[in-house]
Chain A
Amino acid sequence: ETGVTQTPRHLVMGMTNKKSLKCEQHLGHNAMYWYKQSAKKPLELMFVYNFKEQTENNSVPSRFSPECPNSSHLFLHLHTLQPEDSALYLCASSQDAGTGYNEQFFGPGTRLTVL
């Protein structure tokens, strides 16, 4: 595997379910990001991790819980979601998140549908 991978690619869940999204980067980077892309809205940054430490939480509801066990893996734990949370969730990585000069590399995304 190369680049940034995300699993699953598609997920359908009920509002009472608990599920997790997984992201893995094979680029040797130290920063990882979660973005949300809703229809007709810009990509929204959700969380940033730099060297496994969370450095940004963009006012994301607590029903989204990120986890970064190491610099190569990032999870997004989902529970008690709402239908309006249906969106494409993108993961990205970069060399680090301390400056704005590092290119972010994106994964293919997980298409989430909440029923």
Chain B
Amino acid sequence: AQSVSQHNHHVILSEAASLELGCNYSYGGTVNLFWYVQYPGQHLQLLLKYFSGDPLVKGIKGFEAEFIKSKFSFNLRKPSVQWSDTAEYFCAVNAAGGGNKLTFGTGTQLKVEL
């Protein structure tokens, strides 16, 4: 079975600071990788996803993530955060070819201060 670890549970940044949120998974086979975001008072929504190809994927609102297979990692990055990026961020994986059964990490609460 897969598992996902998000090491940072709470992150506080000032506006314009750079962001990197860690995500590591454990699974021996091929995986699909996702980052979801939940803004205050809103639904979980997809930020970006990786299936195959270029390991650097770009998502909405200037976010990107890099898949490093050797490290079983899929870290989320943004060069310059904004106050509106305050949200909870969830990393998720599913086993490629194993159906659409997502395994989530515990989430990282990001607060961006003005």
Q: Which residues of A contact B (CB under 8 A)?
A: 3-4, 31, 33, 40-43, 45, 48, 55-56, 90, 92, 94, 96-108
CB atoms of B4 and A55 under 8 A apart: no
CB atoms of A4 and B43 under 8 A apart: yes
CB atoms of B43 and A56 under 8 A apart: no
Q: What distance in Å separates the Cβ of A95 from its nearest Cβ neighbour in chain B?
A: 9
- Total contacts A-B at CB 8 Å: 63
Assembly CA distance A3 to B45 (angstroms): 11
Q: Is B51 an interface residue (CB 8 A)?
A: yes
Q: Is B98 an interface residue (CB 8 A)?
A: yes
Q: Which of A4, A42, A103, A106 contacts B105 (CB 8 A)?
A: A42
Q: How many residues of B contact A (CB 8 A)?
A: 25
Assembly CA distance A14 to B77 (angstroms): 44
9 further contact pairs, Cβ within 8 A, besides A56-B99, A102-B100: A31-B100, A42-B103, A42-B105, A45-B103, A100-B100, A101-B51, A104-B46, A105-B45, A108-B43
Max chain A CB contacts within 10 Å: which of B44, B49, B98, B106? B44
B51 nearest CB neighbor, chain A only = A101
